[in-house]
Amino acid sequence: MTEDVHLQEKLDLLIKKNSWHNRLLFGATFICFSVGIYFLISRQKELLVNKVILENKYALLQKDRDNMFASYERARDSMVFLAARLQEESNIAKLEKTTLSVEKNVFNDRPETNPIAKVLPSKNIDIASSFNASNIMVTPVNERASGKEKITASAKTADKMVIAFDIENHIMQSGITEIYVCISGPDGRIVTVKAFGSGVFTTRERGERQYTAKIPVEYEAGKKKQVQLTWKQSASFAHGAYKIEIYQNGSKIGEATCLIKKGGLFGFVPKNSSLRGHITSGSVHVYIARVNAILFTECARKLSVNSRFIGGNLFF
C-alpha cells in the first residue's frame, strides 16, 4: 500500500513536470512564430518600399529616354531645315551667277543698234530671257470656318499651300510669260490634279515633265514682280518634306523645301500671321532645344531672317 502511494506521487509529479514542459514549449513556439511573422511583415514592407523606389527610378529613366529621343528628333529636323535653306541659298547664288554672266556678255558685246539680236546666238538670247526667282516663301495655311486663315505646320490642319516669290530679269522685254510650279510630295512624286490645271511641259534639262500649276504673269521690263500661287488639292496633305520647283522658259529658276509635320508641335513660328513678311521656307516648324544661341543667331543673320530666342527656343 505504501508502495502504491509512493508510485502515485511520482506519477503526479511527472504529470506536473510534463504539463509545465508543454506550457514552456507552447510559449517558446508562440514567441518564435510571432518573431517570424514580425520579420516577414518587416521584410514585406521593405520589399514594397524598394519596389516603389525602383518604379520611380524606372519612370525617371523612361522620361529621360523620351526626352533624349525628342531632342534627337528636334535636332534632326533642325538640320534638315538648315540644309534645305543652305541648298536654296546655293541654288539662288548659282542662278544669279549665271544670269550676271550672261548679262555681262550681252552688254559688253552688243552694238549701238539692235542690242542682243546681232551679238548672241538665239539659244543664249533665249536663256538670258529666263527669270530669276528669289524670296521664295512656302506657307501651309489652315482655313477656319469663320473665314480667317492661320499659318500651320500640321498635315492634319493644312487646307492649302501658299507659294510666293519675286521674279526679275533685266534683259527680258515687257510682256506675258508663263511660270510652272512643280510640287513634289513626301513620296517624291509630282502633285498633280488635272481638274485644277496640272499638266505637262518641256524643260531644257529633263525634257517633258509634269507640273502642278501654271501661272500666267504679266511682266514689266526691268522691274521686280511679285508672284503668288495658292494650291488647294482634293486630297489631304501628307506629312513630310515637300519640294517646290519653279520653272520659266524651260529653265529652273528657283527651288524651296517645305516640311509639314504630322502633329506640328514644334517649330519655327512666324511672328505675324500674314502670309508674307518672313522667309519661312514652308513655315517649317522645327523646335530647337538648348542650342547655342550665338550659332543660330549667326545662321539667321546669314539667311536674312529676323530671329529671337525665348526660353531656349528660336523663333522666326
Q: How confident is the model over 178-224, as pLDDT tens digits?
A: 999 999 999 999 999 988 889 999 998 888 999 999 999 988 887 88
What's the grid cell of residue 76? Answer: 534632326
207: left (phi over 0), alpha (psi -120 to 50) or beta: left
Share of the chain above pLDDT 90, in %: 23
Amino acid at 40: L
Q: Does 139 have pLDDT greater than 60? A: yes
Contact between residue 313 and residue 288 where contact means Cβ atoms under 8 Å apart: yes
* Predicted structure pTM score: 0.47
Please compute, for residue 2, the number of CA atoms within 13 A of its CA located in the half-sphere on the CB side: 0
Q: How confident is the model over 238-288, as pLDDT tens digits?
A: 989 999 999 998 889 999 999 888 864 433 333 333 333 333 333 333 333
Give the pLDDT band of residue 53 (cuts 50, 70, 90).
very high
Distance CA 197, CA 25 (A): 102
Give the model's pLDDT for residue 223: 84
CATH superfamily of 69-264: Immunoglobulins (2.60.40.10)
Give the pLDDT band of residue 234 (cuts 50, 70, 90).
confident
Amino acid at 19: S
Give the model's pLDDT for residue 288: 33
Q: How confident is the model over 58-68, as pLDDT tens digits?
A: 999 999 999 99
Q: Would you kindly state where each structural domain of the chain is located, as residue ranges? A: 69-264
